[in-house]
Amino acid sequence: MTLLFLLLTFLSLGIMAVLVRLTVTNGFNSLGAHFLEEQAQAVAVTLQGSGQSLALGDSILQTQQGGHFVFVINPDGTYVAHPDPSKVGKNVASDFGADFAKSILMGQGGEGQLADARIVYGYAPIPGRNLTVVAVENFQDLQTPLADIGRITLLQLVASLALTGLVGSLVIWRVVGRPLSKLTSAADQLGRGNLEVNIDPGEMKDELNLLATMLNKMRDQLGSLIRGLQTRIEELADTQYSLRLSEERSRAIFDAVNEAIIVLDYDTAEIIDVNQKMSEMYGYSREEALRLRISSLSSGEIPYSQKYFKKYMKEAVQSGPQLFEWRAKQKDGSSSGLK
């Protein structure tokens, strides 16, 4: 969150800086063009008052300072005077284009910018002499002071942003970051099963205070649920222990009966359980008997077949216990009569 705050701050201020720089640059160029127009007017007045005769090849400026220079052209756009003598006699359109020459020769003085040639300019006619003075300066030279101001401003902006970011980060960490870190840590501890964790909602504000309260409530509910589950598990363990004891007692009684007992599935006639006496009488171990059906123990003699056996079972289900004779087959194949 802190990094996002810093990113948004730098982005917004960066956009603002670019817009300010464009506005200042345009304003600075306009100011420079106005200065050049005044300079052209001053030179024009000087040439008018001096009565100096300007013929082709004459020069009014012998030196050129960077991209700032002044020249004179006639109505055809031909250089009459120029800091560079080799330019005299050539047409201004060859350097700055026909549109530039046309706008100057048709005007009565003014200023402007030429983006293609990256120059600003000002011009003024020499009264009574049918000549025009033009003052020109390159963008680069004109904007050198602006670049120095820009560097100083940039340093100040970076320092301000760094200070703002530091203070903002500290405020965000204190108000949001540190409480949120505590909430995250507490949630992690709860997820690991630590129900001793506690958060003081008084240390937090607004939504974070609500989250802390809800987290404490969740901890209490989770603790209550776990305690209930533990009680239920203990109850189930006691019940299971009681059932095991009951099964053991029932098994002991079941095996102690001195009569063969066979428990069957009524629908499938599969043997479900047998007691110890059955194993002794039939010769099958309990494990072997549990893999048999009643037909395996029947001699097959009528009326001792499985068909009659099921008839007796049906009567027992409908009318209660029945007493009948049965001729059984033992494991070794011998038969024995049973009641």
When mean pLDDT is compared across 18-32, 177-191, 264-278, 304-318, the lowest value belongs to 18-32
pLDDT of residue 179: 74
| Mean pLDDT computed over 280-308 | 83
Number of domains in the chain: 2
pLDDT of residue 63: 45
pLDDT confidence bin for 57, thresholds 50/70/90? very low
Is residue 276 assigned to a domain?
yes
The CATH number that applies at residue 309 is 3.30.450.20
Model pTM score = 0.39
- pLDDT of 301 over the 60 cut: yes
| Mean pLDDT computed over 120-127 | 88
pLDDT in tens, 196-208: 777 777 777 777 7
Which structure tokens are listed for 56?
């082709």
Q: What share of the chain is helix, strand, coil (3-state, %, to 5)?
A: 60, 15, 25
Is residue 208 assigned to a domain?
no
pLDDT of residue 61: 52
Percent of the chain past pLDDT 70, that is, above it, reads 74
pLDDT in tens, 132-170: 889 888 877 655 555 556 567 666 666 776 676 677 667
| Mean pLDDT computed over 263-275 | 87
| Mean pLDDT computed over 291-317 | 78
pLDDT of residue 85: 83
Beta strands in the chain (DSSP E): 69-73, 79-81, 110-114, 119-126, 131-138, 262-264, 271-274, 326-329, 335-338
Is residue 275 assigned to a domain?
yes
Among residues 115, 142, 169, which one ends one of the domains? 142
pLDDT of residue 123: 92
Among residues 142, 162, 180, which one ends one of the domains? 142
Is residue 200 assigned to a domain?
no
pLDDT of residue 58: 46
Alpha helix ranges (H) inside 66-205: 93-96, 98-106, 139-142, 144-172, 178-191
pLDDT of residue 173: 64
Crossing angle of helices 2-50 and 144-172, in 10° steps, is: 160
3-state secondary structure of 240: helix
Candidates 237, 43, 220; CA nearest to 123 is: 43
| Mean pLDDT computed over 7-16 | 62
| Mean pLDDT computed over 285-291 | 91
First to last CA, the chain: 89
Q: Which domain holds residue 331?
A: 257-338
| Mean pLDDT computed over 320-333 | 80
Among residues 142, 171, 189, which one ends one of the domains? 142
- pLDDT of 273 over the 90 cut: yes
| Mean pLDDT computed over 246-267 | 87
Is residue 221 assigned to a domain?
no
Q: Is the pLDDT higher at 304 or at 295?
A: 295
Q: Is the pLDDT higher at 290 or at 199?
A: 290
- pLDDT of 90 over the 50 cut: yes
The most confident of 43-52, 197-206, 283-292, 325-334, by mean pLDDT: 283-292
Is residue 114 assigned to a domain?
yes
Is residue 111 assigned to a domain?
yes
When mean pLDDT is compared across 22-31, 75-84, 155-164, 182-191, the lowest value belongs to 22-31
Mean pLDDT of the chain: 77
- pLDDT of 24 over the 60 cut: no
- pLDDT of 59 over the 50 cut: no
Is residue 118 assigned to a domain?
yes
- pLDDT of 64 over the 60 cut: no
- pLDDT of 27 over the 80 cut: no
Give yes or no: residues 8 and 131 share one domain. yes
